[in-house]
Amino acid sequence: MSFSENSSQGLSPGVKVILIGAVGNIVLSAIKFVGGVLGGSPALLNDAFHSLSDLTTDGVALLTYKIGRLPRDPNHPYGHGKAESIGAGFIGLCIVLAGISLAWVSWEFFQETGKGGHSLAGMFEGLSPLGVGKTSLEIAAGFAFLSIVINEALYRYTRRVGEQEKSPTLIANAWHHRSDAMSSVAALIGIGGAIAGFPLMDPLAGIVVALMIAKSGSDIIRSAVSDLMDTSLADEELKEILDTARETAGVLTLHEVRSRRVGGDVFIDLHVLVDAECSVSEGHQIGENLRQRLIHQFTQIEDVLVHIDTEEPSDVDPVYQTDSHQLKKLVSAELESFSNQILLTRLRPHFNNGDVTLEVFLRPHAELKPEQYGSLLKEIQDKLENLGEIKTARTFLDIQSP
Q: Tell me the three-class secondary structure of the chain, residue by residue.
A: CCCCCCCCCCCCHHHHHHHHHHHHHHHHHHHHHHHHHHHCCHHHHHHHHHHHHHHHHHHHHHHHHHHHCCCCECCECCCCCHHHHHHHHHHHHHHHHHHHHHHHHHHHHHHHHHHCCCHHHHHCCCCCCCCCCHHHHHHHHHHHHHHHHHHHHHHHHHHHHHHHHCCHHHHHHHHHHHHHHHHHHHHHHHHHHHHCCCCCHHHHHHHHHHHHHHHHHHHHHHHHHHHHCCCCCCHHHHHHHHHHHHCCCCCCEEEEEEEEEECCEEEEEEEEECCCCCCHHHHHHHHHHHHHHHHHHCCCEEEEEEEEECCCCCCCCCCCCCCHHHHHHHHHHHCHHHCCCEEEEEEEEEEECCEEEEEEEEEECCCCCHHHHHHHHHHHHHHHHCCCCCCEEEEEECCCCC
pLDDT recorded at residue 274? 93
CATH dotted code for 235-309:
3.30.70.1350
List pLDDT tens digits, range 186-205: 777 777 776 777 767 767 77
What pLDDT, on a 0 to 100 scale, did the predictor assign at position 113?
56
The CATH T-level fold of domain 13-228 is Alpha-lytic protease prodomain-like (1.20.1510)
Average pLDDT per 10 consecutive residues for the chain, totaling 402 residues: 44 88 87 75 69 79 88 86 88 81 73 50 40 60 83 91 86 82 74 72 73 83 87 89 93 92 88 90 94 93 92 74 87 90 90 87 89 91 90 87 46
pLDDT of residue 43: 62
Task: Give the model's pLDDT for residue 285.
Answer: 95
Q: Domain segments of the chain: what residues?
A: 13-228, 235-309, 324-397
Residue range 324-397 in CATH 3.30.70.1350? yes
pLDDT of residue 8: 36
The predicted pLDDT at position 316 comes to: 65
Per-residue pLDDT at 215: 85
235-309 against 324-397: fold identical: yes
pLDDT at 118: 41
Q: What pLDDT does residue 25 have?
A: 84
